[in-house]
Structure 1
């Protein structure tokens, strides 16, 4: 059995035997907002959002798909997602001063 009913709440039982509280549509949308744009405003990716939600003890069957929809619908994530943060210059290798030409440490 993957689901348990305790009182009025339904729980999903993981392989490890942990109980995760099943959420409905309204609660799951509120939780997605809190995880993605919440107090710290971290704007996590979909997989990280799912991991955080499960780690917090919640579950619903379409969790990953809903995380992707929410992430793709976030205007801030889409606006700043393609900005390159490093300069457009050629990268130069850095030589190690303790390393000789033949690969022996001196």
Structure 2
């Protein structure tokens, strides 16, 4: 009988911004992948602890969801697009915006 050694559980996702972690958690929840949020209020420990140790973390409830969760997280976090300048008013906009925040002109194709 060939038994695989158990791997130490680790968080599926961590980020310094709680809102980013909750956004990923919501994306996973929509796909029926259950997670638990840890370190939600741990930021006050920074200084005594390493900053990365107090980042909010997502942990899988069911480890068998790991592969699907990793694919979804990669898709959800891969939307970081470079900033762009509006062709109508010249305003700089974040990559996530499809309309100019200033004049509401639609983003033109690169």
Normalising to structure 2: TM-score of the pair? Answer: 0.22
Higher helix share: 1
TM-score, normalised with respect to structure 1: 0.22
